[in-house]
Structure 1
Amino acid sequence: MTATSPTTGPAPAGPASARAGLRQTNVPGMHTYGPGMPRPSRFFQRGFGWLLGAVWLFYLGQPLGTILDRPNGFAKWFSLAALVAFGLSYILVFLWTRRVHMQQRQPPLREGLAWLGATLALGLAMIPGAGGDWMVGLVYIAASAIMVLPPRAAVPVVAVVAAQPLLLPMFVPSWRHESGLFFSIVLAAFAMFGVTRMIDHNMRLTAANKEIARLAVAEERARAARDLHDILGHSLTVIAIKAELAGRLLPVAPERAEAEVNDLEKLARQALADIRRTVGAYREVCLDEELASARSALSAAGIEARLPVSVADIPEPRGTLFGWAIREGVTNVVRHSGATRCVITVRPDQVEIADNGRGPVASEGGGSGLRGLRERASAHGAQLSVGRAEGSGFVLRVSVPA
């Protein structure tokens, strides 16, 4: 018996323990098996911001005690309500600023000034019940200024706010001179500056990690596309030429046609194996194998091949790079050149593929194959040169600095 979900269709019945590994998704007809992905703690999503903002409210204990010691009356309850609203306003400013910084934005100046003005107004509203102790709220005003204002504007605001505990008692004799409060305001401003910078740096680090991951995926896709182009382009070109040759030989030389067909089967299997190795990121090129493959491809195309006998002294990874160059060069000769002769020269620091055909006109960008080969050469610190050979024909050369 099965149960039906409106979004995922029939779901397997059975004991709850057997269904515990089944996590339904919102994709019709799809079930995801295995343990569910852990979700972020709701405390760290929401509660942490409240806790981090509220932990600083202990400074308000001084004006709170003063207000509670006053006799009942309008001044007491009005100031008490203003103090509660002041603390709540500070927490909301902190949460708002934290969210803005996490979105990698700067707090809008107009909204920041509005928050700062509202917090200051609520602080002044504590005066009827708290008297001079309301100046403790200046700690939060300075911290809020650091949060909501650009640094150039926040610094003078903090300086003005920090001076008030030293200046206001000169005009209101009943208020005590608070030199310690001056240092508390300065320290709170520095602490909040560090918090905001830490949030900014964490967000930038997160964004940088995402960009690195995106570039890594893009690079891997480019590598896979380059390898598939090089493998399929060469293999399919040789297969097409051999198939054409086998078709021409079939009426006049069945034995040779049969040999070409056998070669077609081997090439097809080899191409399939190459694709599988490429998908598995195991694709490597052997210089000796590429030379043998080039000889076979050129011979099938009716092109005289002049290739080196031995390349045993070519070290890796240079040999792999030269193998890719020979593969791309021979593919271009067979496809585009119309040549009757191809000469491949391999030296410890250079490989060159030249033909006597018409050759393509080298463009700045080149095709996908030349572009891929240029990327490979650049990764090895080598130089790729393409163009017309002396007299006629086309030449492709990869040179590695000594």
Structure 2
Amino acid sequence: MAEQSEPRSGWDWPPRPADDGPRGRLRNVVWPALFLFYLVQPVLQAFSQPHTGGFRAAVVAVVVVYAASFLGAMAIGMRTESRAFRVVAVAWLFLMPVLLAALGGPELLVFWTYAIAAALFLLPRNVGVAVGLASAVALLVTSAMETGAPQLDNAMLLVVMTMAMFGFTELRRTIVELRTAQDRVAELAVAEERSRLSRDLHDVLGHGLTTITVKAGLARRVLESAGDRDRAIAEVQDVEQLSRQALVEVRATVSGHRAASLPAELAGARAALRAAEIGADLPHAVDDVPVALQEPFAYVLREGVTNVIRHSGASRCEVRLGERWIEIRDDGVPTPGPNGGGHGLTGLAERLAPFGGRIDAGPAEGGGFRLRATVEPA
């Protein structure tokens, strides 16, 4: 797929279009062929007037070669980036009407129309326009020298042809650029959806599986130590409930209908920290947080608490909420890797970016680890 990183100027060579298969290559031949009916005129003129058989054969030969050369130049020239081929092909096409004019008179130079069309398709835009206008001037001068009166009608036809083909080629190039941009937008949309899915699955499975693991470990320890069957059953029931909830969230994530709730995340964080035997100091309300920021702050809370449980070895976790910030702090030992970076914090940064927010994560003063998300006022 041909891509453009900046606007094209009038001196840029036309890019080679994307390969759209045999059908596209056939289209590059069929459409130019539809306009070749105009070349029948010199042949009809040669046979309608008293000319020798050799003259008629010469006219037919030049017309056939001209038509075949035009189709070949368009079919091959449009699919090659060889500038030499394009220049030689256009020069050869301009020679054909000269041969016709040598046989039938300067008025046949009007058939430069095909060469002008090829020049505008194969050469830089400004060059093609200049060649077309120069052809009109050459026809005026040649006809004036041969007949004593310049053929204004034919010259004007070349000028109009040049302007029309210029507009057509510009329209075609615009369409190609729009299709390229459309393909690019589609690729970016797919990449963005993959990023969203990866980020959401990390949040859902990371927190859910961490809580399930803690709960299952707690049930195992209860059975191994005191054999408190009722408590162990309660913990296993929690594991079952968490598993079902995680499954629901995964399905919602895949379908794109999942949204995190800050109050629900606070409740879940409280239960997860209690199961991990980590003291929790959490807010009891989220009324001060704007509604628009509650969802991204919910993801920050989930990621922060999950990292505390999995990596910190802490005995206490504090969560503080402000109108435009949230902070998770523990008294554990900061460890490199998941605490200081990784997919989780990268995903949080991506979630906060649309709100103008930022993530600060690192060792806290006095020990432990601190994760803070801040959204600056607009």
Partner amino acid for 2:69?
S
1: distance between equivalents of 2:23 and 2:353?
A: 50
* 2:283 is aligned with 1:308: yes
Identity %: 35
TM-score (norm 2): 0.85
1: distance between equivalents of 2:216 and 2:338?
A: 31
Larger CA deviation: 292-301 vs 254-263: 254-263
Would the aligned equivalents of 1:66 and 1:129 in 2 still touch at CA under 8 Å? no
Would the aligned equivalents of 2:107 and 2:143 in 1 still touch at CA under 8 Å? no
Match of 1:161 in 2: 135
Match of 1:233 in 2: 206
For residues 330-377 of structure 1, the C-alpha deviation after alignment (integer angstroms, 9 at most, x for no partner) is 001011111111111122211111111112347998111111111111
Would the aligned equivalents of 1:333 and 1:355 in 2 still touch at CA under 8 Å? yes
Residue 349 of structure 1, aligned match among 310, 317, 324: 324
Residue 78 of structure 1, aligned match among 55, 58, 67: 58
1: distance between equivalents of 2:197 and 2:27?
A: 45
SS of the equivalent of 1:317 reads: helix
Greater RCO (Cα-Cα under 8 Å, separation 6 or more): 2
Larger CA deviation: 327-336 vs 359-368: 359-368
SS of the equivalent of 2:362 reads: strand
After TM superposition, list the pairs within 5 Å mapping 1:277-316 onto structure 2: 277-316=252-291
Q: Give the superposition deviation at 1:196.
A: 1.9
Residue 89 of structure 1, aligned match among 51, 60, 69: 69
For residues 302-328 of structure 1, the C-alpha deviation after alignment (integer angstroms, 9 at most, x for no partner) is 111001112234332311111111100
SS of the equivalent of 1:399 reads: strand
1:51–1:263 CA distance, 2 compared to 1 (3 A): closer
Residue 66 of structure 1, aligned match among 30, 45, 57: 45
1:245–1:364 CA distance, 2 compared to 1 (3 A): closer
After TM superposition, list the pairs within 5 Å mapping 1:328-347 onto structure 2: 328-347=303-322
Match of 2:14 in 1: none
Would the aligned equivalents of 1:64 and 1:130 in 2 still touch at CA under 8 Å? no
1:368–1:207 CA distance, 2 compared to 1 (3 A): same
* 2:197 is aligned with 1:224: yes
Residue 300 of structure 2, aligned match among 290, 306, 325: 325
SS of the equivalent of 1:344 reads: strand
Would the aligned equivalents of 2:358 and 2:373 in 1 still touch at CA under 8 Å? yes
1:362–1:399 CA distance, 2 compared to 1 (3 A): farther
Q: Give the superposition deviation at 1:169.
A: 3.1
For residues 82-131 of structure 1, the C-alpha deviation after alignment (integer angstroms, 9 at most, x for no partner) is 1233234334434445x43xxxx7x5221112222332333233245422
Partner amino acid for 1:116?
V
1: distance between equivalents of 2:233 and 2:119?
A: 86
1: distance between equivalents of 2:353 and 2:339?
A: 16
Question: Aligned-residue CA RMSD in angstroms?
Answer: 2.7
1:285–1:393 CA distance, 2 compared to 1 (3 A): same
For residues 212-250 of structure 1, the C-alpha deviation after alignment (integer angstroms, 9 at most, x for no partner) is 111111111111111111111111111111211111111
2: distance between equivalents of 1:388 and 1:241?
A: 24
Structure 1: which 5+ runs fail to align?
1-39
Figure out how many residues of one structure are paired with residues of the other and give that number: 354
Partner amino acid for 2:276?
A
Match of 1:201 in 2: 174
After TM superposition, list the pairs within 5 Å mapping 1:2-401 onto structure 2: 46=26, 50-55=30-35, 57-58=37-38, 60=39, 63-68=42-47, 69-97=49-77, 99-100=78-79, 107-127=81-101, 129-173=103-147, 177-250=150-223, 251-252=225-226, 253-361=228-336, 366-401=341-376
2: distance between equivalents of 1:230 and 1:363?
A: 13
Partner amino acid for 1:341?
R
Q: Give the superposition deviation at 1:204.
A: 1.5
1:133–1:145 CA distance, 2 compared to 1 (3 A): same
Partner amino acid for 1:85?
V
Structure with higher helix content = 2
1: distance between equivalents of 2:128 and 2:263?
A: 69
2: distance between equivalents of 1:44 and 1:328?
A: 51
2: distance between equivalents of 1:365 and 1:337?
A: 11
